[in-house]
Amino acid sequence: MSDPAGGPGPGIPPTPSGRSRAELTFVGTATTILRLGRFTVLTDPNFLSRGQRAYLGKGLWSRRLTDPALTADALPPLSAIVLSHLHGDHFDRVARARLDRTPPVITTPPAAQRLRRYGFRTQGLENWERHTLVDGPEELSVESLPAIHARGLMGRLLPPVMGTLLEHRIDGSVVRRVMISGDTLTGDHLEVIRERHPEIDVAVVHLGGTRVLWHTVTMDADQGLDYLRRIGPRTAVPVHYDDYGVFRSPLSEFLTAVEGSGLTTRVRTVGRGDRIEL
């Protein structure tokens, strides 16, 4: 089921009209609903309930501590699903069972191959590759960006992950650029991204300081601050920070780090179930 207009579904409040509208609804973990003009994009669908286990592969799991703000059945019609990687806290068994198979799932090549077996339409992207959606005079390009979930042996154990750039155009002109960090650590790959994309309107930043087998595999407070300095977005929206027991760096630590940096005005927090304009 697809709706070029991206109309609201059950549980989603109506949105303002206008081709250049842009807003984010936070569902929980790294799950958001992004509306960019005529396009509605779901990111990293995680609809497990509090107390259920998310499976992380290699016999690892973590129990969810929160409930999502809405169920998979309450989603609006989608233009696409953007998946940073195939971990149980980003694409779970509820999503696999209940998501509509019509919109494309844009993700890493290994995740695309696996999800195709379950009947999803998938588009696997290597670094810097793009997939473009078109609806009349509007375009939304989805570009895969480098990301590093972990380094060394742990990096080889975890699935490949990508960051994402969403570039919304109307009549050929760029209206807004939204970057999704994905589950990445900081590093020199961010400098390469900044060189290619120096003007980012909004960055959706995956935090949490996730600890797996004594390794940090997502950005903690200090790395989140480093991400802001390296990428330089006009606005940053933190997500992925308190939903699972393996998340060890709460949002409060990130906000404290940012407060002393002079970047406070760039950060906008959003509660589960709330919506902000971008």
Rounded Cα distance between 35 and 32, Å, is 10
Rounded Cα distance between 61 and 89, Å, is 9
What residue has token string 């694409």?
91
- As separate numbers, helices (DSSP H) first and strands (DSSP E) second, the chain gives 6, 17
Q: Are 248 and 219 in contact (CB under 8 A)?
A: no
The conformation of residue 152, written as its DSSP 8-state character, comes to H
pLDDT digits (tens, 9 = 90+) for 56-98: 877 788 999 999 999 999 999 999 999 999 999 999 999 999 9
**Any idea which of 56-60, 189-193, 230-234 has the lowest mean pLDDT?**
56-60
Q: What confidence tier does 115 reach under pLDDT thresholds 50, 70, 90?
A: very high
**Beta-carbon contacts of residue 6 (< 8 Å; ≥ 6 apart):** 15, 35, 38, 39, 40, 76, 77, 79
- Residue 239: is its pLDDT beyond 70? yes
Look at residue 54 in the predicted model and tell me its pLDDT.
95
- State percent of the chain over pLDDT 70: 93
- State percent of the chain over pLDDT 90: 82
Rounded Cα distance between 168 and 10, Å, is 25
Pinpoint the alpha helices (H) of 117-237: 152-157, 188-196, 221-231
> Measured between alpha carbons, how far is residue 98 from residues 45, 90, 206 in Å?
11, 14, 24
- Residue 10: is its pLDDT beyond 60? no
pLDDT digits (tens, 9 = 90+) for 202-219: 999 999 999 888 889 999
Q: What confidence tier does 175 reach under pLDDT thresholds 50, 70, 90?
A: very high
Look at residue 15 in the predicted model and tell me its pLDDT.
43
> Measured between alpha carbons, how far is residue 88 from residues 24, 31, 73, 262, 263 in Å?
22, 12, 19, 35, 32
> Measured between alpha carbons, how far is residue 74 from residues 4, 69, 98, 102, 125 in Å?
18, 10, 10, 16, 28
Q: In 179-189, which positions are buried (b, 16+ CB within 10 angstroms) versus exposed (e)?
A: bbbbbbbbbeb
pLDDT digits (tens, 9 = 90+) for 14-49: 444 456 789 999 999 999 999 999 999 999 999 999
- Residue 108: is its pLDDT beyond 70? yes
> Measured between alpha carbons, how far is residue 123 from residues 22, 108, 169, 171, 242 in Å?
24, 8, 21, 25, 30
Rounded Cα distance between 220 and 240, Å, is 11
| Domains of the chain, first to last | 22-263 (3.60.15.10)
Look at residue 155 in the predicted model and tell me its pLDDT.
67
**Any idea which of 17-21, 133-137, 138-142, 172-176 has the lowest mean pLDDT?**
17-21
Q: What confidence tier does 262 reach under pLDDT thresholds 50, 70, 90?
A: confident
Q: Are 33 and 46 in contact (CB under 8 A)?
A: no
Q: Are 163 and 91 in contact (CB under 8 A)?
A: no
Q: What are phi and psi of 89, to 5 degrees?
A: -95, 5
> Measured between alpha carbons, how far is residue 228 from residues 47, 90, 151, 206, 258 in Å?
28, 23, 21, 12, 9
